[in-house]
Amino acid sequence: MKLSPKLELAGVSLRDMTEADIPAVDILERRLFPVDAWPLQMFFDELAQPETRRYVVAEVAGEIVAYAGLMCIEPIADVQTIAVVPEFEGKGIGSAVLTELIDEARRRRAADVLLEVRADNPRAQQLYVRFGFEQIHVRPRYYRDGTDALIMRLELNKPHEGDTA
Ligand SMILES: CC(C)(COP(=O)(O)OP(=O)(O)OC[C@H]1O[C@@H](n2cnc3c(N)ncnc32)[C@H](O)[C@@H]1OP(=O)(O)O)[C@@H](O)C(=O)NCCC(=O)NCCS
């Protein structure tokens, strides 16, 4: 998988997630999403459906520092999850894994990529806006703690700043 020279120099590598990664991913999941972590089994279920799913991990020195997953059922792709460990935020790793998911959505001929993001997560929202995502809906009190979800959409057939194709 292609990464920017800067990330390669920083020792970051990107590869497909495997079942063997799930215990480590689960530890990160519970740390990064204390309110709405996925149950461990959910990762196994997701990886068991490669015809409609693609999950990646980013590693530094053999440790997983980010993970992300896409579901694609034509014509819609959904970013199922994306996370970078705090110590490695702000280095472009989130952008790299998101780029890989969007490229995968294109390969699978999706027309749109959708995602849900917490209304109180401006950092993630900013990342998505930079990639051309636009807010299309709000799901009031969607999350367990009562926070709204913003639904954002990237139209793949529309030219955007930040496109990789
Ligand atoms: C949201 C999240 C995935 C972003 O990951 P990230 O690796 O920090 O993202 P990037 O580094 O690619 O981009 C983040 C910012 O760092 C900046 N940045 C990118 N490369 C950089 C570099 N080499 N040096 C300094 N800053 C850099 C970017 O400009 C970007 O700024 P922005 O705030 O204007 O978007 C990450 O913060 C995260 O996992 N948060 C917790 C979990 C979460 O909220 N997930 C999303 C659920 S919907």
CA of 92 to the centre of ligand 1 (A): 6
Q: Is the minimum distance from the CB of 94 to ligand 1 under 6 angstroms?
A: yes
16-47: b (≥16 Cβ within 10 Å) or e: ebeeebbeebbebbeeeeeeeebeeeebeebb
73-91 pLDDT, tens digit per residue, is 999 999 999 999 999 999 9
The pTM for the full model equals 0.92
Structural domain for 46, as ranges: 5-111
Asked whether the beta carbons of 82 and 94 are under 8 A apart, the reply is: yes
Q: Each residue of 84-115: pLDDT tens digit? A: 999 999 999 999 999 999 999 999 999 999 99
Residue 137 lies in a domain: no
Flag whether 147 is in a domain: no
Task: Look at residue 28 and tell me if it is in a domain.
Answer: yes
Backbone angles phi, psi at 160, to 5 degrees: -135, 155
**Domain count along the chain:** 1
Residue at 20 is within a domain: yes
Provide the CATH number for the domain around residue 56. Answer: 3.40.630.30
How far is ligand 1, taken at its centre, from the CA of residue 16, in Å? 20
pLDDT tens by residue, 8-33: 888 999 999 999 999 999 999 999 99
3-class state of residue 39 by DSSP: coil
User: How many residues would you count in the chain?
Assistant: 165
**Residue at 134 is within a domain:** no
123 lines ligand 1 (CB under 6 A): yes
- How distant, in Å, are the alpha carbons of 10, 68, 74, 157, 160 from that of 81? 24, 5, 19, 23, 22
| 126 found inside a domain | no
